[in-house]
């Protein structure tokens, strides 16, 4: 399973590393230390926390969280696999994006809950890039 440093988690959550560190210090998100002493957050824990955080946050209409190319970097929070189709959810800061794609595409990308991914939006389609 993928783990994230405090800085990586902060970027995915749309906050400063200091804020992410304070949340970890307060026990809001679980961390562990690697052999080098860096604090890491498990991908599944970060995914769950990002969903919780987004649900608790008030909607801010003027919060920019997209590039000119409509890319939403975030973390995979849910995957529902069918026989042929799949549904992938990504939490990108305050935005929850859902993409319907083939099961084969999800398997080829190696997508798992807790891993970093980028949702690209074109018209009404959401494409997933593994990052």
At 67-91, the pLDDT tens digits run: 436 788 899 999 999 999 999 999 9
| The pair of three-digit structure tokens given for residue 7, joined into one six-digit string | 């800085």
Torsions phi, psi of 18, nearest 5? -60, -40
Which residue spans of the chain are classified as CATH 2.40.50.100? 70-121
What does pLDDT average to over the chain? 87
Which residue spans of the chain are classified as CATH 1.10.1660.10? 3-56
Q: How far is the CA of 102 from the CAs of 50, 98, 128, in angstroms?
A: 25, 13, 11
Q: 31-61, pLDDT tens digit by residue? A: 999 999 999 999 999 999 999 888 886 655 5
CATH class of 3-56: mainly alpha
pLDDT over threshold 90, residue 120: no
pTM score: 0.61
pLDDT over threshold 60, residue 15: yes
Which strands sit side by side in the sheet containing 95-102, from one edge to the other?
A: 95-102, 85-92, 71-81, 116-122, 125-130
Has domain 70-121 been given CATH number 2.40.50.100?
yes
Torsion over CA: 7, 56, 127, 82 (sign): positive
For residue 25, the tally of other CB atoms under 10 A from its CB is 11
């Amino acid at each position: 399973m993928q783990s994230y440093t405090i800085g990586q988690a902060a970027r995915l959550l749309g906050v400063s590393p200091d804020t992410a560190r304070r949340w970890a210090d307060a026990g809001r998100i679980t961390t562990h230390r690697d052999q080098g002493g860096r604090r890491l957050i498990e991908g599944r824990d970060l995914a769950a926390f990002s969903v919780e955080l987004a649900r608790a946050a008030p909607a801010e209409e003027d919060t920019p969280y997209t590039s000119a190319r409509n890319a939403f970097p975030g973390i995979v929070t849910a995957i529902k696999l069918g026989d042929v189709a799949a549904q992938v959810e990504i939490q990108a800061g305050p935005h929850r994006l859902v993409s319907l794609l083939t099961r084969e595409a999800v398997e080829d990308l190696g997508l798992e809950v807790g891993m970093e991914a980028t949702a690209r939006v074109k018209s009404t389609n959401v494409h997933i890039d593994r990052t």
